């Protein structure tokens, strides 16, 4: 069975969607959750699902020991699901081709450092974009610039608020992210 390691910083709705998807079809399992926020909701999900978790600091994120710990789980894929730190270059090289991310907009628009969550949705609305969506992409050494794996779109209607747009984006994320992960694992 394939092993997935999920990195998350917040509430964990994408992590939950991934966990539930693979709990149902048994083609893979989330074997570890890595989090940089000891107050994050994703940790409650990990506890409820009996998934080990690791809380990291900026210092431990840079250490070789973390890489060794991750290798112990033999990850087929490392999935960023609302993880807000940039992945260090040595980390990207260590797990080349095995790290993916989801971004709540249609890259290359509205990506880069500091562009996450409501900031992205506000930028889409302020730019008067008629469409937004999600981008699932490989992770490389630069924010949101890895090869695009999938984009899914939704309409941005006049008068939509950032919260309304976020709900549309979450629906796309929760549907597509687990399925893309499954497809990537099947093709390895």
Could you tell me if 21 and 182 are in contact, meaning their C-beta atoms sit under 8 angstroms apart? yes
Distance CA 157, CA 176 (A): 22
End-to-end CA distance of the chain: 12
Q: Which residues contact 22 (CB under 8 A, 6 or more apart)?
A: 4, 28, 29, 30, 178, 182
| Active-site annotation, residues | 103
């Amino acid at each position: 069975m394939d092993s997935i390691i999920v990195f998350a910083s917040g509430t964990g709705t994408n992590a939950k969607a991934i966990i539930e998807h693979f709990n149902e079809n048994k083609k893979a399992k989330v074997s570890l959750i890595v989090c940089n926020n000891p107050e994050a909701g994703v940790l409650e999900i990990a506890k409820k699902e009996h998934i080990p978790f690791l809380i990291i600091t900026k210092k431990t994120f840079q250490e070789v020991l973390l890489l060794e710990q991750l290798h112990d789980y033999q990850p087929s894929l490392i999935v960023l699901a609302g993880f807000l730190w940039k992945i260090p270059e040595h980390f990207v090289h260590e797990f080349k081709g095995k790290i993916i991310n989801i971004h709540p907009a249609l890259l290359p628009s509205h990506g880069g450092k500091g562009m996450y969550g409501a900031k992205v949705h506000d930028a889409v609305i302020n730019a008067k974009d008629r469409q937004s969506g999600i981008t699932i992409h490989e992770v490389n050494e630069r924010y949101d610039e890895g090869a695009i794996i999938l984009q899914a779109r939704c309409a941005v209607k006049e008068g939509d608020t950032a919260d309304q747009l976020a709900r549309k984006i979450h629906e796309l994320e929760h549907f597509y992210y687990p399925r893309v992960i499954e497809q990537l694992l099947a093709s390895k």
